[in-house]
A and B are shown apart, each in its own frame.
Chain A
Amino acid sequence: MFQLAEIRHMVRIPPWFFGQTLNDAVIEELNRKLANKVVLNVGLCIALFDITSLGDSYIFPGDGASHTRVTFRYVVFRPFLEEILEGVIKSANADGMQVSLGFYDDVYVRKDSMMPNSHFDETDQTWVWDYQTDDDTHHLFMDVGGRIRFKVVAEQFVDTTPAGPNLAAGDSSVADRKEGKVPYIVYGAINDQGLGLVSWWTGTGEGNEEEEEEEEEEGDEAL
């Protein structure tokens, strides 16, 4: 789920950081620049791991800052394909579900990646897996907030650097901004044995019933 990305970058240290050692200044600058950001085709940056090489520092005419070529390794969130991950269901609609890992929210399970015999329940706004045993059909609800295990099936990077104003297209740029382009999307699937809600597969499957009972009790208390 996490990888080390080796990156080479020219780091600009502004003069007010000259009081620190070069190492500290570079570490701070790299973390300020990259932490919690998505780098195209690299992943979501978490934290600096280490610096592998520091080049000479240069000062260019007209700029009081120093520039140093640095090679470093950064911890990035970038699950590999087929990796199994766990998260929490954040929202659901007829197209699929959104899953959150807490620090990363853009995991989508599309409707064609659900278990066979799944459907979207309009009244509850949740996805339901109709699990059939020999004599009965169990409706297994995937409620928002439930712990879910999925397999990574695809990823998608989108370049979100602002383009110049598109005069010909007129209003389309406004529409784009409203949509909010997501730089890095992970697509998950839950259509295999062991995937889906974690509680389905632990123990003897009593987890669901217990939860329902608890909910009923809470309901009674509220009344």
Chain B
Amino acid sequence: MNNDDVAGRVNSKGAVLSNYEVYTLLQEVCQQGNKGKRDLTKTQAHLANIAFDTLKYLEKTPCKHQKPEAIQRFLEATKNFKLTKAEKLQLINLRPVTPVEMQLIIEESEDRLSEEQVEQLISLVEQHLPDPARRHHHHPDDQRTPTITLRPRANLHRFLSNDLFSME
């Protein structure tokens, strides 16, 4: 068998993950390492390193304060803007709040969106996705939840990919 040692890629399309999904997954990985019988840094040094470094990077991005419910509400609210999945993903990951950032993320935004629509999109981002700078401002619907929400990974992914990618 030739491919015993070579990892064969089955699906070249590759579903895209939001930063929030990776963030929660890696938190689970690190938690298991802390609680588990074996020390993650000893048995799985590579995994521990990359998980720790990636978490550190993601903690500086807006995804740290996001909740699945908020993301879903945001996607609902932006349904009518005819955005591509890549654009929606970046709106969630980067949380743009200035017109310059919007134009950068949305291709040919001058032709596709009017100035009012860009402003509307910005206010939707501000309304639904929490502002990292103002941590104490909670959306009324967001009940105080523990920082680490353990939810079935596969389900979360299904919900996001359906929402992100089904309506083009």
Bound Cα distance A7, B103 (Å)? 36
* Inter-chain contact B53/A194, CB cutoff 8 Å: no
Q: Which of A1, A8, A10, A103 contacts B19 (CB 8 A)?
A: A1
* Inter-chain contact B57/A47, CB cutoff 8 Å: no
* Inter-chain contact A1/B86, CB cutoff 8 Å: no
B50 interface contact, C-beta 8 A: yes
**Tally of chain B residues near chain A (CB < 8 A):** 46
Chain B: interface secondary structure? helix
The residue among A35, A42, A86 with the most chain B CB atoms within 10 A of its own CB is A35
Segment 10-31 of B: residues with Cβ below 8 Å from A: 10-11, 14-19, 21-22, 25-26, 29
A5 interface contact, C-beta 8 A: yes
Using Cβ atoms and an 8 Å threshold, which residues of chain A touch B77?
none
Bound Cα distance A5, B11 (Å)? 7
Q: Which of A10, A47, A86, A192 contacts B26 (CB 8 A)?
A: A47
Bound Cα distance A201, B154 (Å)? 38
B98 interface contact, C-beta 8 A: yes
Bound Cα distance A1, B23 (Å)? 12
Interface 1/0 per residue, A133-172 and B, CB below 8 Å: 0000000000000000001000000000000000000000
Interface 1/0 per residue, A31-62 and B, CB below 8 Å: 11011110101101111011000000000000
Say whether, besides A35-B44, A192-B104, A193-B104, A2 and B22 are in contact (CB < 8 Å): yes
Chain A interface: which size bin? 35 or more
Q: Which of A74-82, A106-114, A179-187, A210-218 forms contacts with chain B? A: A74-82
Say whether, besides A10-B3, A46-B50, A86 and B61 are in contact (CB < 8 Å): yes
* Inter-chain contact A102/B56, CB cutoff 8 Å: yes
The residue among B19, B46, B103 with the most chain A CB atoms within 10 A of its own CB is B46
Using Cβ atoms and an 8 Å threshold, which residues of chain A touch B54?
46, 77, 102-103
B70 interface contact, C-beta 8 A: no
Shortest Cβ distance from B1 into A: residue: A10
Interface 1/0 per residue, A193-208 and B, CB below 8 Å: 1110000011000000
Bound Cα distance A37, B7 (Å)? 12
Interface 1/0 per residue, B93-113 and A, CB below 8 Å: 110001011011101000000
Segment 59-107 of B: residues with Cβ below 8 Å from A: 61, 86, 90, 93-94, 98, 100-101, 103-105, 107
B146 interface contact, C-beta 8 A: no
CB distance from A32 to the nearest CB of B (A): 6
Say whether, besides A84-B104, A86-B61, A201-B101, A46 and B16 are in contact (CB < 8 Å): no
Using Cβ atoms and an 8 Å threshold, which residues of chain B touch A193?
100, 103-104
With A6-B14, A39-B7 given, name 18 new contacts (CB 8 A): A5-B14, A7-B10, A8-B3, A8-B9, A31-B44, A31-B47, A32-B47, A35-B50, A37-B46, A41-B9, A47-B50, A47-B51, A50-B154, A80-B86, A101-B57, A103-B56, A103-B57, A195-B104
Top 7 closest pairs, chain A to chain B, by CB: A6-B11, A103-B53, A35-B47, A194-B104, A36-B50, A102-B57, A36-B46
